[in-house]
Every structure is written in C-alpha cells, then in structure tokens.
Amino acid sequence: MLHGYFKLKMDNIFSYPRKLKQSTIENENLISNANFRYKKLNILMGSNASGKTSLVRAIWSIMLLLKENDKRNLENIININTDESYIEIDRVVKIATKANLLRLKIKTENNPEDLKVEMACKKIPVGKKSSYESCKKRLDAFEYEYSDYESVLRDLDLRGIGWNVVIPATEALFNRVSFLEFKDEQESNDYLTMLNTVLKSLDPAIIEITRSKDTDNAYVVQHENVGAIIAQANNSLSSIPSLSSGTEYGFNITNIFFSVRHRRIGIYLIDGQFSYIDSTIEKAMIAKLANMIGDDEQIFITTHNHEVADMKLPLHSYYFLNKEKTEQGMKICVNCASEIENRNNVAAKSIIDNDLFGISPDINPIFELGENRGMSL
C-alpha cells in the first residue's frame, strides 16, 4: 500500500476497511492477519496521458530508492518547478517472519544542481487483530524527525524487497527481450510451457517454441508462415522478425505469469503490456493473474480497454485517473470505483459509461479538423 503526494496525491487507496461478503479474489489480507486488508489487484484506467504510467513510475522509483539507496531514482517523479516535494509511503515489511508496517516520509529540496533528500521513518508491529486503519492511526500520532536519507535506509536495510516491473517497449530500458533464470529443470520446463501457451494465444500461426541448441539464452519460434524465428535475450523486442507488436509483448507477459505462479517477487507493476492485444485475450489474462496471485502479493495493471471494467472483479480493484489544471501545474487525480458505488454487484463499466469521474477525453476538437459531412460516433 502506498500513498503520497508529488505530482499526484493519493491517500489510503490500496487498502479497504470492510470485508466483502463475496469476492472473486481470495484472501485480500495479510496471511498472518485477516483484519489487515489490502487490494491484491489494482487496475488503473484512464485516457491517454491521464497519469497511469506516471503512477506506475512513482511506485517503481520509490521501490528503487528503498532498494538501492540512491536519490537519483526520485529525479523523474518530483516536480522540479517547486522548491520542495513530499512523498509518504506505508509499506508492510516482514522482519523475522513477523509483519511490520513501515511509514517513510521523504522530503526533497529541488535544486537542479544537487537534489537534497531527507527522510523520516517509524515502524510498528502488526498485531493479530490490527487493521491497516488502526495501524495508520498509530503512525499518524508519531512525531517525525527528518535526517539524511542514506543513513535512514542503511539502518532499515530494505535491499531484499522485490518487485517485477514491465513498461512499454517504447521505453529504452524495457525494449529488450528478457528471460528468467530457473532454479531447476522443472521450472525451466514450466516456463517453456507458459511461453508456448501465451505466444500461441497471441499468434495462431506459431507452431512450437523450443530452447535454442545453438545460441545461449535464446528460444526458437517455429512460425507457419516464415519458419524459424530466433528470440535471444538482450536483443530489442522490435528486432524479432515477423512477429506482431502484441506477440512481442507476450515475452514480457510470460515473465509476469511465471513470476506470479512461482512467487518470485511480491509486487508486480504491469504498464501498457496489453495495448496491442485483443480485448478478449486481455480480459482472460487479467482474470488468470487475479486467480494466480498469492498471499501477501499485489498487482498493478494499466489499461485503456473499457471492457475490462465489465469483469467480475471487486469494485475496489478499479481506479480511474485524470488530470486537472492547478496553479502549480497539472495534478493527477486517482479515484477508486468504490468511492462512488459501494454495492459490489455493480459493474465498474457503468461508472465509465456515465463518466462519473470525468475521465472521458474531449473528442470535439477531432470533429473540428475539417468539413463535417454528417459522420459522428
């Protein structure tokens, strides 16, 4: 669970206070504490440039800061047009198998020449009957003293935290084929089965995928139309010949499925991976991820596909993002579907259709581009 404010403001949106009578996602709570509830699946929806990727980047950058103890990870998410930025994050960490709720407050002085970062921290044990809300009240009551971020993170030693992030291949960092490492032959075979299942669902012309016998860390895609295609680790996704964009993203999606199934990470950030994929396949993949997610894990997915809102998922799994103009610049607003409609038998799609959060784009300028000959939506 994360809440903070820099270019966007969120407050306690990845937890929920009351147990649902019926839910398609099991055990949305800490496995050690049924009262400490959190949202396992978080679907971020909105039009183009509404802030979905910015939110994913914010979570990812903060995780990198905690893991690498390097302030440069904050440079892409703070507002350099302000003198100071503030970030606040609540994170569950396990110490000797016992759950603790950690609150980190981060303050930056936004000097372009030398970013100054200070941090304050408090940590409390999560009792057997504690909820997130009760723990939050305890953390709210503390006084927080800021000091140099490096010393705070050294004392916390969060290097063992894990996550898996995939961002569109238009980003230079993610425009690479990557395959996972396996601890044994069984895992390797399971990965190969998953790779075949995912890629064949995206391209029916794929006959079979096998490990390359001639090239290290590579797979051979046997394609009905073009023959053998080599997919080698660290090559660019776009360098794989004859595969559609959606099929290329299948390599990233397979990595996510495998990691979730084998409990590799804990937090999964999936941005823009379904943009080139058929809507029915996307919904099936999201449904399977919701079914596979394990105890004390959390998934964030961005999508433009409004049909996803018709899925039988908890209403609190859906978030709608848009931007508003303020004196300080553009502000990203994050609203959860359950803020408007608390009855869990109502589809999130009705909230979109009625544009209750104002996320629909303004399409009127498109129709003003030229002469109107009667065509409309």
CATH number (domain holding residue 355)? 3.40.50
Helix (H) or strand (E) holding 350: helix 348-353
Q: Which residues have a Cβ under 8 Å from the Cβ of 309 and sit 6 or more positions away?
A: 45, 318, 347, 348, 349, 351, 352
Q: Domain containing 297: what range?
A: 8-163+266-360
The pLDDT, as a whole number, for residue 20 is 75
Question: Is the same domain home to 46 and 138?
Answer: yes
- Residues 365-377: pLDDT tens digits? 877 787 666 656 6
- β-pair partners for 45: 303, 320
pTM across the whole model: 0.88
Total domain count, the chain:
2
Name the domain boundary from 221, 241, 261.
Answer: 261
- CA-based diameter of the chain, in Å? 69
- Residues 53-80: what's their mean pLDDT? 86
Name the domain boundary from 261, 281, 302.
Answer: 261
**Residues 272-278: contacts with CB under 8 Å, at least 24 apart:** 272/53, 272/167, 272/168, 272/302, 273/166, 273/168, 273/249, 274/249, 274/301, 274/303, 274/305, 275/168, 275/249, 275/304, 276/244, 276/245, 276/246, 276/249, 277/202, 277/246, 277/249, 278/246
Question: Is the same domain home to 270 and 196?
Answer: no
Question: Is the same domain home to 133 and 12?
Answer: yes
Q: For residue 227, is it within any domain?
A: yes
Burial 272-294 (b: 16+ CB within 10 A, else e): bbbebbeeebbbebbbebbebbe
Helix axes 185-202, 245-261, angle to 10 degrees: 140
Name the domain boundary from 226, 261, 296.
Answer: 261
Question: Is the same domain home to 15 and 136?
Answer: yes
The three-state (H, E, C) secondary structure of 109-131, written as one string: ECCCCCCEEEEEEEEEECCCCCC
The pLDDT, as a whole number, for residue 310 is 92
Q: For residue 374, is it within any domain?
A: no
Question: Is the same domain home to 12 and 139?
Answer: yes
Helix/strand number for the chain, H first, E second: 8, 16
Helix (H) or strand (E) holding 209: strand 206-211
The pLDDT, as a whole number, for residue 200 is 96
pLDDT for 336 beyond 70: yes
- Residues 73-85: what's their mean pLDDT? 82
pLDDT for 2 beyond 80: no
The pLDDT, as a whole number, for residue 217 is 87
The pLDDT, as a whole number, for residue 10 is 52
Q: State how far the Cα of 236 lies from the Cα of 258, in Å rounded to an integer.
A: 21
pLDDT for 17 beyond 80: no
Question: Is the same domain home to 225 and 257?
Answer: yes
